[in-house]
Chains A and B, each alone.
Chain A
Amino acid sequence: MQPLQQYIILFGMLVATAGLAWMIYLIKRSLGETVDEPGKDMPAQSGHPSPEPAWNRYHVHYYGFALLFLAFDMEMAYMYPWAVVYKELGLVALLDMGFFLGILFLGLIYTWTQSGLKRQ
């Protein structure tokens, strides 16, 4: 099968999924309207009223992990082509990637020693 054909099929699946969703929405709509009542549109907060909007600054406690994640995720992009040709290249491939991974792993250890691997 041609690569282009494959991606057309994938795109078709996306369209079909949207169609399925639309169908469910139509069935749902045909079964009745929502009654408009005061206070019904409040977000759930265990019975408490929620006056302020939720879209404000939020302290993500894991930004250290997030930075580390970026470094490792970039590296994974190189790992996949390497993994495919690994057996062909043999020992050279193991040493090359071992060196690369070793440096990255040192970065992880360094972050750990600087107590970056905990809730900030």
Chain B
Amino acid sequence: MSTALTWTAIIILFAAGVYFVALMERWSFSGRLDWAGPLHAFLRAFGQEEIRTRRYDTVFYEATPIIFIAVVLLAVAILPFAQGTILLDLGTAALFINAALVYIMVSLIMAGWSANGAYGMIGGWRAMAQLIAYSMAVVMAITAAVMRAESMGMLEVVRSQAPLWNIIYQPVGFLLFYFAVMAMAFLPPFDLPVAEGELAGGAWAEFTGARKILFRLGRLLLVLTLALAVTVFFLGGWLGPWLPDFVWTFIKTALVAASFFWVGRWLPRIRHDHLLEWGWKYAVPAALFNIVQVGIQLLL
């Protein structure tokens, strides 16, 4: 199949993936599949009045939705969809994805600060607590995957999993990365910054209309990107029999994204101090153990 055709198929599949994530998100709240729901919500946001709070911080208010969606797109650019189909084969990709996705937290704090509302501000500070809790698990799990690949390039990371996927080679790392990534996308058990039930939207409470659209779109892209990252780092990326490469990538990504919402549906929201305690008392030692385990396995 020619390159142009592959890219077209990937773009269509990616758009379908965003729609699928939106569908699953609605399902996780209501328990039923509302096929036209995402489209209705998108169009409705255009009809919404744009209200700004009094004495808001103009620079932060205007910058934060764009930062949010931009960093997610930067992260997508370095993740491979298939053998030769990657937008940018960056030599430092594993480090770059960390650096890019930290700005999710920065954007949430800026969003919380800018509106000058109490709920938003609390949401912003919680976003920072959440970063401190999940960050180590993400970084250390990626380190272990890099150790096996002997390269920070994403193509090498996937190729190193040809004999055995990382989910079996380093199951502890997979579990840590999976839940840490859910915390990064602030999906339901970890949706502290935007908790609808207690903060009425939290960091995003004061954003309406066009800026809300950017945030919602960025969140959907973020969930899809992180599902893709789980696939690339732990589920063998494009590796699989019979079907074309990129189809395997999308099947796995869709399953991971759906599982995020399925897991989140059954878990209560965690308190931010509990999240920090669990993150440092259990996740960091487990992540260090994972690095040592992979180190020993590699030397055997």
Contact = CB atoms under 8 A, between A and B. Distances in A.
Is this pair of chains taken from one and the same complex?
yes
B281 interface: yes
A65 B133 contact: yes
B201 A44 contact: yes
Interface stretch (B12-20, B24-32, B283-291): B283-291
Nearest to A15: B70
Nearest to A101: B288
B95 interface: yes
B116 A17 contact: no
Given A65-B133, A80-B95, A101-B291, A43 B53 contact: yes
A54 interface: yes
Contacts of B77: 9-10, 13
Contact of B119 (A41, A44, A66): A44
Given A43-B120, A94-B296, A94-B299, A17 B70 contact: yes
B15 to A, nearest CB: 14
B118 A54 contact: yes
Contacts of B292: 94, 98, 101
Contact of A1 (B89, B117, B201, B206): B89
Given A35-B49, A43-B120, A94-B299, A72 B206 contact: no
Given A17-B70, A72-B284, A80 B152 contact: yes
A68 B277 CA distance: 12
Interface stretch (B207-215, B229-237, B256-264): B207-215
A65 to B, nearest CB: 5
Binding site secondary structure of chain B? helix
B280 A108 contact: yes
A80 B146 contact: yes
A28 B151 CA distance: 45
Given A69-B132, A80-B95, A13 B125 contact: no
Given A44-B117, A62-B273, A105 B288 contact: yes
B150 interface: yes
Interface residues of B, number: 71
B208 to A, nearest CB: 9
Interface string A41-83: 1111110001001110010111001101100110010011001
Nearest to B51: A40
Given A10-B77, A28-B50, A44-B206, A54 B116 contact: yes
Contacts of A9: 77, 87-88
A58 to B, nearest CB: 6
B52 A41 contact: yes
A45 B118 contact: yes
A114 interface: no
B255 interface: no
A54 B116 CA distance: 5
B268 interface: no
A18 to B, nearest CB: 6
B125 A21 contact: no
A58 B127 CA distance: 14
B144 to A, nearest CB: 8
B121 A18 contact: no
28 contacts: A9-B77, A10-B74, A10-B77, A13-B70, A17-B66, A21-B65, A21-B214, A28-B46, A28-B209, A29-B210, A34-B49, A41-B54, A43-B120, A43-B206, A44-B206, A54-B118, A54-B121, A55-B121, A58-B125, A60-B129, A65-B129, A69-B135, A69-B136, A83-B147, A84-B150, A94-B295, A98-B292, A118-B277
Q: Which 3 A-B pairs have the closest CB atoms?
A: A43-B117, A28-B210, A119-B273
